[in-house]
Every structure is written in structure tokens, then in C-alpha cells.
Amino acid sequence: MDLGLIIYALNLASIYALMAIGISILWSSVGMINMAHGATFATSGYAAWFVSGALKPAIAATFGKTVMASVMMASVVMLSAVLAGAFCGAVIYALAFLPIHDKPNYSVRSLIITLALNIGVVQSLLWYFGPRNRGLPKVFGFGRWELLDTKIRYDQAGTIVGASLVMILTLAWLRYSRRGLEVRAMMQNAEGAAYSGISRQATALPVLMLTGALAGVAAALLSQTIFVSPTAGVIPLVKGLTIALLGGLGSVSGAVAAAILIGFLEAIVGVIPFLGQRYVMFATFSFIILVLIFRPRGIGGLLDNTRE
């Protein structure tokens, strides 16, 4: 296995981990399977494309062709994607959490509402923007490093570093902030958290906005490698869901481990000559089925058992 393959695998893994962690945290704290994560992904990609396109002349006029201009461009892309993701999270909160969180069948109904949101948003994007792919401005610039005879593209390196940074920040927020403490309390025992005065409604909004922002970051990072399109969110959503489940829903470390496993598996299957890219999904799902047969609650999923 050469270094290029490892870099490629880590690149995939970091994007998947961003999606999977969002889904996992959301499930264990708010009790919602967010099927609208793919729509959030696609919407943030489009928002980044739209805002960067609109501000391009202004930035070019102010900074010219300096380093400052590309830094500004990069921050505009990332910021708009993150803000759009957080906004989508707030919309999901208003539609799929707030009206029904104290009503019967909450978990199934929220799943259905987010699924309907996903279908509706993807089709609306398709209808409004058309099926054409859009390229985002390169955040990390073009070019590559030579390291131990392998070429590492800037965008791959930037994705890995950026995603890891965002994940560390998220985990630190969960670990050290007051809000994070409340979220963790809800993850451990929702009822106990309610008894000790933690409001479910007040905690769900930041959690949903945070996971939306994570999807936004993932969108901005993945769009460095592929294009923005209305259906771009489908594969990250399916991958994120499968990895969150494989890691054991609610276990953040399990999700990261599963993301790395699946990233490497996909990278390796992609280069094996007689399998190739067409069998990537096939191999992923076969692997997942195998794991689930031996560990029915996923890799890190002993949580539910200990909870009872």
C-alpha cells in the first residue's frame, strides 16, 4: 500500500466522519434520525457556490490578485457553507422537532419528516438550478506536494487537516462548554437530563445547528474534489447513515473508527484491478452486513445495552 492510497482513504474517511458524527450525535441526544442531512449538504454547497460567485467581483476589486484575495475567497466559501448548514439545521428544528417532539411516534415521524424534507429540497434544487454541476473556487489552491515520492494534492491535505480540526473543535465544545455538558447529559440519559433541568427544546436547536454546520463543512470540503450538484448529498447521506450505524448509533468514537475503516476499504477496493470503482458500494455493504452479523449493534454499540 502506497502513501497516495492512504491519503485518498483518509480524505474519504474525514468527509464520511463529518457526516456520520453529525448523524450519531443527533440520534443520541435528540432521538432523531436526520434523513435531511443530504439536503443540508447539497444546500450548503449551493450556498457556497452562490455567495462566492456573487462576492467574486467585490473581492477582486478590493484585493486584486494578492494572497489576501484567495484567503478572503476561502473564508467566504467556508463561512457561507457553514452558515447555510446551520440555517438548514434550524429549519429542520422548526419542522421536524418543534411541532412533534412531545407527540406520539416522535422518532418515526421525525424520520419521515426529514426524509420528506430531503426529497423536497433535492428536487427543488434540481428544478431551480438544473442538473448541471457547479465548481466551487478552490479553497486550498491548486498544486501538490512531493512527499516520499508521492504527490499529495493541496485539496486532499486541506480536507484531512480541516476535517480533523473541525472534529476536534466539536468534541472540545462537547467536552468543555456548558451547552456541551447539557448535550452529553442528554446523550447519556434523556429523562435524567430533563429531571435536572436541562430543556430538551433549548438544547435541540444548537445540536441541530451544529450538525447542520458539520454537514456544511463536509460539503465545502468535498466540493474541492467533486462538483456541487442537487443530488450530491445522496451518497454522503447514505454513507454517513451507514457509517453512523456501523459505528453503533450514539457512539462518536465508533463512528470515527467506522469512517476510517470504510474509507480505507473503499480506497483499496477502488484500486484492485478486477473490482474497481463499480464494486465500491457492493464491497461496503457486504462488509457492513458481515460486521452486523458478528456485532449486531455496530462497532461501538454497547451503549444501548449498558443504558438498560
Residues 200-239 that bind another protein (CB under 8 A): 234, 238
Task: Select the residue interacting with another protein from 9, 74, 213, 241 (CB under 8 A).
Answer: 241
Furthest C-alpha separation in the chain: 61
Which phi and psi (to 5°) does residue 169 adopt? -60, -45
Instruction: Give least dist CB 300 to another protein, A.
Output: 13
First to last CA, the chain: 43
Residues 69-108 that bind another protein (CB under 8 A): 95, 99-100, 103-105, 108
What's the gap between Cα 80 and its chain centre?
16
Q: What CA–CA distance (Å, rounded) separates 170 from 86?
A: 14
Task: Select the residue interacting with another protein from 126, 198, 205, 271 (CB under 8 A).
Answer: 126
Instruction: Give least dist CB 108 to another protein, A.
Output: 7
Task: Select the residue interacting with another protein from 51, 119, 171, 302 (CB under 8 A).
Answer: 119
Q: What CA–CA distance (Å, rounded) separates 305 from 308?
A: 5
43 binding another protein? (CB under 8 A): no
Instruction: Give least dist CB 35 to another protein, A.
Output: 10
Question: 213 or 241, CB closer to another protein?
Answer: 241
132 binding another protein? (CB under 8 A): no
Instruction: Give least dist CB 301 to another protein, A.
Output: 8
Best CA proximity match to 221, nearest among 34, 22, 7, 19: 19
Task: Select the residue interacting with another protein from 20, 91, 245, 299 (CB under 8 A).
Answer: 245
What's the gap between Cα 29 and its chain centre?
17
Number of residues near another protein (by CB under 8 A): 41
242 binding another protein? (CB under 8 A): yes
Residues 269-298 that bind another protein (CB under 8 A): 278-279, 281-282, 284-286, 288-289, 292-293, 296-298
113 binding another protein? (CB under 8 A): yes
Task: Select the residue interacting with another protein from 30, 33, 217, 259 (CB under 8 A).
Answer: 33
124 binding another protein? (CB under 8 A): yes
Spatial neighbors of 191 by CB under 8 A, at least 6 apart, are: none
Question: 96 or 220, CB closer to another protein?
Answer: 96
Question: 61 or 289, CB closer to another protein?
Answer: 289
Interface residues toward another protein, by CB under 8 A: 33, 95, 99-100, 103-105, 108-109, 112-113, 115-117, 119-120, 123-124, 126-127, 234, 238, 241-242, 245-246, 249, 278-279, 281-282, 284-286, 288-289, 292-293, 296-298
